Amino acid sequence: MLAVVKEQKTKGVRLKQVPVPKPQKDELLIKVKIVSICGTDVNIYDWTPWAQSHINPPIIVGHEVVGEVVEINGKSKNIKVGDLISSETHIFCGRCYQCKIGNKHICENMQLFGIGRNGGFAQYATVPIKTSWKNDKTIPLEEMSSQEPLGNAVHVIHRVNVKGKTVLVTGLGPTGLCAVAAAKAYGAKKIIALNRGSYRRVLGKKMGADEVYEKLPEKYLNKMDVVLEMSGNEIAIQTAFEAARIKATVIIFGIPKKDISLNFGKYFIDKELTVKGVFGRKIWETWEDVSELLKSKKVDLTKIITHRFKLSEFEKAMEVMKSGECGKILLIP
Ligand SMILES: [Zn+2]
Ligand SMILES: [Zn+2]
């Protein structure tokens, strides 16, 4: 089968023929229908310090996958051959303290699909049964492949009350775009979104932002009830704290590429802000909520799907991904 393999500890990947994998105990074999490109995959491609500390090549990359189950090696309560499953990237141990108290998404022994083990940029993939989500067949296949960023966004929104609130979203990558949609779905009064590139500002409007800007207009300084920082960009993070009103809640989701400095006194103390870090998605509470949003059409993920490529055109797709002139990019094996 064709697969995208991170073969060397250098920049780039290789498209090559590899054997179809055998599902190990408690794994499924899926025929990959669609796999979408994530920002993480760009890190892996570029071999950034983050990738260097998480990846031990060779590895088949790709984690936002939807596929048809063709073989099951083990017991599964609800998944059968022929079902369409999406993979949860965070493979939890099920035994550590966090797993035991219902926080599997921040498992202390986390393994990552398509990062720490072979993933889904391929025609077939093996996925642990415990991290396979059985999709409702009424949801369009393309939406099934892009639930990860919506899951992140829903998890973010569930950490703060947005109902009737003025919400600022900084950064309109896929998770930022989904955060706009989720804030809208859960009743935000007004949503303002910031993004440097204009392409994604247009998508931000489509997903439900009332106003989009390159930079925060001065009139909004100290006015936001809720700020969702989705970019990890240093300037955006500063803006997030400047936009927050006294007693506001700031959610930090975007991961900065380097250490950044913040004025703790001015922001955290003077404004009495509530600042929360958010990671991943709850397993499976968030997936249930995402499924509801998609089934009820309260969120239409197809609006952010902008490009489709064959898996063999991976390099072309990666180029578009890096340009920022895109929403979600889908690969079809
Ligand atoms: Zn991802
Ligand atoms: Zn665990």
For every one of its 333 residues, what pLDDT tens digit does the chain have, with 9 covering 90 and above?
A: 999 999 999 999 999 999 999 999 999 999 999 999 999 999 999 999 999 999 999 999 999 999 999 999 999 989 999 999 999 999 999 999 999 999 999 999 999 999 999 999 999 999 999 999 999 999 999 999 999 999 999 999 999 999 999 999 999 999 999 999 999 999 999 999 999 999 999 999 999 999 999 999 999 999 999 999 999 999 999 999 999 999 999 999 999 988 999 999 999 999 999 999 999 999 999 999 999 999 999 999 999 999 999 999 999 999 999 999 999 999 999
DSSP secondary structure, 17-44, as one string = E-PPPPP-TTEEEEEEEEEE--HHHHHH
Distance 55 CA to ligand 1 centre (A): 15
Ligand nearest to the CA of 111: 2
Q: Supply the pLDDT for residue 175.
A: 97
| Tokens matching residue 26 | 């408690």
| Spatial contact of 187 and 163, defined as CB atoms under 8 Å apart | yes
Q: Supply the pLDDT for residue 257.
A: 84
Distance 92 CA to ligand 2 centre (A): 5
Q: CA angle 156-249-147, nearest 5°?
A: 10
Angstrom distance (rounded) from CA 111 to CA 165: 37
Distance 191 CA to ligand 2 centre (A): 36
Element containing residue 315 per DSSP (H, E)? helix 314-323
How far, in whole angstroms, is CA 142 from its chain's centroid? 15
What are the structural domains, with CATH classification, of the chain? Answer: 2-145+300-332 (3.90.180.10), 153-277 (3.40.50.720)
- Share of the chain residues as helix, strand and coil, in percent rounded to the nearest 5: 30, 30, 40
| Tokens matching residue 289 | 């909520």
Q: Supply the pLDDT for residue 258.
A: 87
| Tokens matching residue 17 | 């023929």
| Spatial contact of 175 and 230, defined as CB atoms under 8 Å apart | yes
Distance 40 CA to ligand 2 centre (A): 22
Angstrom distance (rounded) from CA 152 to CA 290: 10
Q: Supply the pLDDT for residue 183.
A: 98
The closest of 143, 135, 148, 20 to 80, measured between CA atoms, is 135
pTM: 0.96
Per-residue H/E/C for 220-253: HCCCEEEEEECCCCHHHHHHHHHHEEEEEEEEEC
Distance 249 CA to ligand 2 centre (A): 29
